[in-house]
Amino acid sequence: MARLPEENARTVAVDTLCHWEERHLPIDRIFTEKAAGLDPTERRLARSIVYGILRQRDTLDAVLTSYSSHPPSKMKSRTLMTLRAGIYQLFFLSRIPSSAAVNATVNTLKRARQPSWMVGFANGVLRRIAGERESLAGYALDRAGLPRTNHPEWLCARWEKQYGKGQMRAICAINNSEPSLTLRVNTRKIGRTDFLAELKKSGVKVQPSRISPVGLVVDGYPGPVHTLHGYEAGLFQVQDDGAQLISMLVADIPGAGRVLDACAGLGGKTGHLVELLPAGSTVLALEPDRFRQRLLLENIQRLGHGSQVMPVQGTVAEFVQTRPQPFDAILIDAPCSGTGVIRRQPDIRWNRQPGDLPKLAAQQLALMQQASAVLKPGGLMVYATCSLEAEENMEVVERFLGSNSAFTLEPAGPHLPEQARSFVREKGSFSTLPTDGCDGFFSCCLRRAL
């Protein structure tokens, strides 16, 4: 008998979450692999369940604790993830009938050949919850009657100390919501106004970014990004509008030059640099991970930037040993905790631990030291993270400056468009929070003496 689409979606959702809990790999990578065989409707449901559970975990577990004699902390991973999937549908997906939320979700345990007692246990718990579906809203509040943060306590305590209780709760609330899809228009191929008109003509709800002069914000597009008008033609790249501002800090050089993207990742900022730099400039994109480098190459080719980008697989330390020709500018978009992008990558909040921060800071400082060796006198080095944590941001910059007297801080403001200069903060650095209407980023400009 053919499986129902909803059943397939739920199976993929539970399998994705179990694999994530076991390996703690990025959830988007796991989901992309697991959901490869789903049709668009199934994929949307599976993704909604996976990302919704990660955003509402504490709320779901509060419900589960109330209705189960067996605490969540004592449950096997597959049982727990199955129950969370069922509760999420009952609590947050009102369009799904209770019978489908219960039966199709419980059937994932049968497909996984779980013991009959486990299937019966999950079925009983979900049926009790479904019977009181209309009264679940109260579990969204904590004991103090405030909305649950659905973030680890240690992270909330850090943000409360740094930003205040109100701002901490506002950041958590934003992180628990579904983000808009933001695009960067490839201005080498089309202007923002023209592309905006084309998207609207194709039926897409879209508006200009208020932060980035080349950004667009898409509202409620239901399909995969590759089905959006202009994707195959390379007219845009998916990129948060706050991230688009960082490339603008790097590309403000007087003439054609060589730029090093030292931690290129998937190539979002690499492509933007090509679009911003003076004609005749080149970008060397350094990325050690084979999977990310493959996606980087695909993005650069789709955008039509292949002739100006030189991809190199390897670490900064390895690359510096090749004694390359010095660069006019360097971007270090450093690997970090990612606490500024939890809204888009909700698994980050559960993957991180306090002990990660000093380790990451040491790696970030090492990257700055290594990359600075291949910057021309008078050149600009831009250090950036998608972290909200001071240890990874200004503290790393200050440690670098303390042992590198040839470098000085340069204000970010003159390199930014007028509408973004309100994000220039401590010591001239660029910094955004999720409450600013984009993801959380930090960046500093450091000028090497002539």
Residue with tokens 């934003």: 174
Q: Report the pLDDT value the prediction gives residue 1, as an integer from 0 to 100.
A: 37
Reply yes or no on whether the pLDDT at 87 is more than 90.
yes
100-147 pLDDT per residue, tens = 999 999 999 999 899 999 999 999 999 999 999 999 999 999 999 999
| 148: Cβ contacts below 8 Å, ≥ 6 apart | 58, 59, 62, 140, 141, 142
Q: What is the DSSP letter of 439?
A: -
* pLDDT confidence tier of residue 252, bands split at 50, 70 and 90: confident
Residues forming a β-bridge with 147: 141
CA distance 274 to 186: 10
Contact 148, 58 (CB under 8 A): yes
- DSSP label at 278? P
Residues whose CB is less than 8 angstroms from the CB of residue 228 and which lie 6 or more positions away in sequence, other chains included: 199, 204, 218, 221, 236
Q: Return the CATH class of domain 5-139.
A: mainly alpha
pLDDT of 270 higher than 80: yes
407-410 and 441-448 as β-strands: parallel, antiparallel, unpaired?
A: antiparallel
Summarize pLDDT for 365-402 with one digit per residue, the tens: 999 999 999 999 999 999 999 999 999 999 999 999 99
CA torsion 386-389-394-398 (nearest 10°) is -120
**Residue 222 — very low, low, confident or very high, per pLDDT cuts 50/70/90?**
confident
| CA dihedral (320, 322, 327, 330) positive or negative | negative
Structural contact between residues 441 and 386, judged by C-beta atoms closer than 8 angstroms: yes
pLDDT in tens, 230-241: 999 999 999 999
In CATH terms, the fold of domain 181-238 is Alpha-Beta Plaits (3.30.70)
Question: How far apart (Å, rounded) are the C-alpha atoms in residues 345 and 341?
Answer: 6
Alpha-carbon Rg for the chain, nearest whole angstrom, is 23
Q: Is the pLDDT of residue 416 over 70?
A: yes
Q: Render pLDDT for 350-375 as a digit per residue (tens, 0 to 9).
A: 999 999 999 999 999 999 999 999 99
Contacts of 398 (CB under 8 A, 6+ apart): none
Give residue 5's pLDDT band: very low, low, confident or very high (50, 70, 90): very low
For CATH 1.10.940.10, list the domain ranges present in the chain.
5-139
Percent of the chain with pLDDT over 90: 94
Residues of the chain with CATH 3.40.50.150: 241-448
Calpha distance 354→367 (Å, rounded): 21
Sheet arrangement for strand 206-208: 206-208, 215-218, 181-185, 236-238
By three-state DSSP, how is residue 307 classified? helix
| Mean pLDDT taken over the chain | 95
Mean per-residue pLDDT for 262-291? 95
Helix H or strand E encompassing 6 = helix 5-23
Query: pLDDT band for position 224 (50/70/90)?
Result: confident
State both tokens at 156: 């909330």
With contact defined as beta carbons under 8 Å apart, do 330 and 262 qualify?
yes
Q: CA 188 to CA 307: how far, in whole Å?
A: 13
Tokens of 197: 């008109």
> Any idea which residue has 């909803």 for tokens?
6
- Does 223 score more than 90 pLDDT? no
Which residues participate in catalysis according to the annotation?
386
Distance, in Å, from the CA atom of 401 to the CA atom of 286, rounded to the nearest integer, reads 24
What's the predicted TM-score (pTM) here? 0.94
Q: C-alpha distances in angstroms, 247 versus 141, 226, 330?
A: 40, 24, 11
Residues of the chain with CATH 3.30.70.1170: 181-238
Superfamily of chain region 241-448: Vaccinia Virus protein VP39 (3.40.50.150)
Please say if the pLDDT value at position 265 is more than 70: yes
- What was the pLDDT predicted at 2? 42
Q: What does each C-alpha distance from 33 to 13, 107, 128 come to in angstroms?
A: 12, 22, 34
Query: Which pLDDT score, from 0 to 100, does residue 254 have?
Result: 87
CA distance 240 to 174: 15
8 Å CB contact between 12 and 34: yes
Burial of 294 (0-12, 13-18, 19+ CB in 10 A): middle
Residues in a beta bridge with 445: 382, 410
* DSSP at 393: T
Q: What is the mean pLDDT of residues 289-306?
A: 94
- Average pLDDT (144-161) is 97
User: 91-127 burial, b if ≥16 CB within 10 A, otherwise e?
Assistant: bbeeebebebbbbbbbbbbeeeebeeebbebbbebbb
**438 within 8 A of 424, measured Cβ to Cβ:** no
- Smallest Cα–Cα separation from 163: which of 403, 344, 342, 431? 431
To the nearest whole percent, how much of the chain has pLDDT over 70? 98
Yes or no: say if 333 and 263 are a contact pair by the CB < 8 Å rule.
yes
